[in-house]
Amino acid sequence: MKAFWKLLSRIKKYKLQFVLSIVCNVLLSIFTVISIPVIIPFFQILFDRVPDVMSIQSAPDGLTSYFKNLIYSQGKDQALLIVCGMIVLVFLLKNLFRFLSLYFLVPLRTGIVRDIRKELFDKYMALPMAYYSEHRIGDLISRITLDVQEVEVSIINMIQVIFKAPLIIIGSIGYMVYVSPKLTLFVIALLLFTIFVIGGISKTLKQRSNLAQQKLGNITTTVEESISGIRIIKAFNAETDQAKRFGRENEGYKKTISAIMHRQNLSSPLSEFLGISVVTALLWYGSKLVFSNDLLPETFFAFIFAFYQVIEPAKSFSRAYYNIQKGMAAVDRIENLMIQETKQMLKPIDSTPIDFKNHIKIKNLSYQYTNDEKQVLKDVSFTINKGELVALVGPSGAGKTTITDLIMGFYDVQDGAINIDDLVINNIEAHSLRSLFGLVSQHPILFNDTIENNIKFGINNTNIHDIINAAKIANAHDFIMQLKDGYQTIIGDKGMKLSGGQRQRLTIARAVLYNPQILILDEATSALDSESEKLVQDALTKILLNRTSIVIAHRLSTIKNADKIIVMDDGKVLAIGKHEELYHISPLYQKYVDMQGVIS
């Protein structure tokens, strides 16, 4: 029920279209009901039954007597034309309103879908990093694609079921009761039985369809992971393994959806058979009433037509019930995502941009990922003074990235503290905190866009001269100019069209342009050939100059001159010092140096 109100609050924004669509639905229902008695005069003329009607003293209704007079004044042919014209007119109006009701619904449907998608995407951008390690990407994609579609379908069904179907059903049944209460009672009893049988089928369909939705989510996740990891998959010859994994998900979905299809397939023949049985019973009983002069034949035709008008909206009830339930479940899933995460986000306590003046102090920092039992940082303390180049060295898994992620506020500090000058970072608004930092990560993050846009990523007020300048500092300008479209070259998904070194230099150019107060560098030159490595290394040296930097060092050459090297292992700081000192006091550091500087 909560989901229903949530949805209603979204509809509020499209009040006008909503009201217009409902008005048209009401008019559509009215003309649907009117279309029933309009066919009576046609049959009267066709079967030449007007004189008979004339002989009955009290005419059955106003419309009949109107046509009776018409026939006498205009003649049979003319009357037939007028009657046919009336039928066409009523159906024209009925269908005009049917079209208009859908017409006004379009901005509402598409608008709500757009609104939810936008909100979800904004949310995805705002969610804390921790959320992404605990949730599956496939699920998040399902929310913004499939679930949003279900909400849309449920809106249409809801409007139909509330504002159209009941009016048509009440109007048609009202007419049926007016014509023959006996026959109506008979038909309704049969109908209830049919609805009961079909209702049972759709209930189990609903349960299984939730399962199918979940399994489709698994497929999306696997495809997403496989495509984004295609290089690794190919590199490890794991195509077959991955295909098997996908095969299992695919098979699971196939089984569930097959069961659903069998039931769905059953429901149509079953409902047709039940339907035709009901109609035959109606024909049988109705004809008996005609034989016994309890019912006029032409009225019986109108009765059958009224009955036919009831079937579709009655059927739509069970379908709508199922779709609305599905839609509400989707609204719930979407809303859960919307509310849950605001709690975990950094609160905007102070959003003024901060100026880094003196130092970053890390005091007794311990950290544990929420989905992990192990402490990944244990009582870590050190200070980064303004202008210093501080390097983090240690084996993979030592906790180096976790420290930089905590400094950038990607995760909340749990134990201990990180202070930037006098501010505790938990109290700094996320945007102003992050505006301090520039990040060059181990795996260059690029987007399927032009080189220019990739370099000026996140920066609004810049010009091409600054971009070219940044590219020159990053040793990227020359290779960019050799590309066919220069700075306008689209670099492909994740920069696929560029070499590893070129990609890395673009991210360095991005950092140069961003000109952060503090640079965080997850140095990765190990994957590059020596030519690229030299260019990247050279670019890095330029960008590190005179800047506060935290470098996760994979190669010692960059950090030999660091002001402070922090040697870490297993979440603990083993030693802090300069290159020469550490060589003597830290066996681990000595080992790295002796291994010619190649670390993890």
Provide the binding-site residues for ligand ADP, judged by CB under 6 A.
133, 369, 371-372, 376, 394, 396-402
Nearest CB to ligand ADP, comparing residues 50 and 407: 407
Minimum Å distance from CB 404 to ligand ADP?
8
Q: What is the DSSP string of 503-529?
A: HHHHHHHHHHHH--SEEEEE---TTS-
Residue 210: which of 104, 327, 106, 113 has the closest Cα?
A: 327
> Between 224 and 466, whose beta carbon lies closer to ligand ADP?
224
Residue type, 32: T
Minimum Å distance from CB 201 to ligand ADP? 45
Cβ nearer to ligand ADP, comparing 133 with 358: 133
For residues 316 and 401, which CB has a smaller minimum distance to ligand ADP in the complex?
401
Q: Cβ distance 333 to 8 under 8 Å?
A: no
Rounded Cα distance, 491 and 7, in Å: 41
390: left (phi over 0), alpha (psi -120 to 50) or beta: beta
- Residue 110 or 370 with smaller CB distance to ligand ADP: 370
The number of angstroms, rounded, from the C-alpha of 147 to the middle of its chain's C-alpha atoms is 6
Q: Are 297 and 47 in contact (CB under 8 A)?
A: yes
| Smallest separation, CB 480 to ligand ADP (Å) | 31
Phi, psi of 321 (to 5 degrees): -55, -45
Choice between 287 and 340, CB closer to ligand ADP: 340
Nearer to ligand ADP, 218 or 402 (CB): 402
Main-chain dihedrals φ then ψ at residue 503, nearest 5 degrees:
-60, -45
By C-beta, is 41 or 399 nearer to ligand ADP? 399
Helix (H) or strand (E) holding 566: strand 564-569
96: tokens are 């005009």
Which CB sits closer to ligand ADP, 186 or 437?
A: 437
> Measured from the CB atom, is 333 or 564 closer to ligand ADP?
564
At closest approach, how far in Å is the CB of 115 from ligand ADP? 31
Pick 91 or 369: Cβ nearer ligand ADP: 369
∠ Cα 234 510 563 (to 5°): 100
Phi, psi (5° rounding) for residue 597?
80, 5
Closest approach of ligand ADP to the CB of residue 374, in Å: 7
Q: How many Cα atoms occupy the beta-carbon half-sphere of 199 within 13 Å?
A: 10
Number of H helices, E strands in the chain: 24, 10
> Least distance from C-beta 465 to ligand ADP, angstroms?
37
The structure tokens listed for 465 are 């001269």
We find the least distance from the C-beta atom of residue 405 to ligand ADP, in angstroms, to be 7
Shortest Cβ 527–ligand ADP spacing (Å): 15
Q: Which is nearer to ligand ADP, 148 or 568 (CB)?
A: 568
Helices (H), 435-578: 451-455, 464-473, 477-482, 500-514, 530-544, 556-559
SS3 state at 345 = coil
Report, in Å, the least distance between residue 543 CB and ligand ADP.
Answer: 21
Tell me the C-alpha distance between 25 and 31, whole Å.
Answer: 10
Q: What are phi and psi of 61, to 5 degrees?
A: -155, 170
The CA dihedral of 302, 307, 312, 313, to the nearest 10 degrees, is 100
Q: How many other β-carbons are positioned within 10 Å of the β-carbon of residue 229?
A: 14
SS3 call for 551: strand
What are the tokens at 75?
């003649």
Minimum separation from the CB atom of position 522 to ligand ADP (A): 8
Query: What type of residue sits at position 216?
Result: L
The least distance separating ligand ADP from the CB of residue 411, rounded to whole angstroms, comes to: 8
CB of 558 to ligand ADP, least distance (A): 16
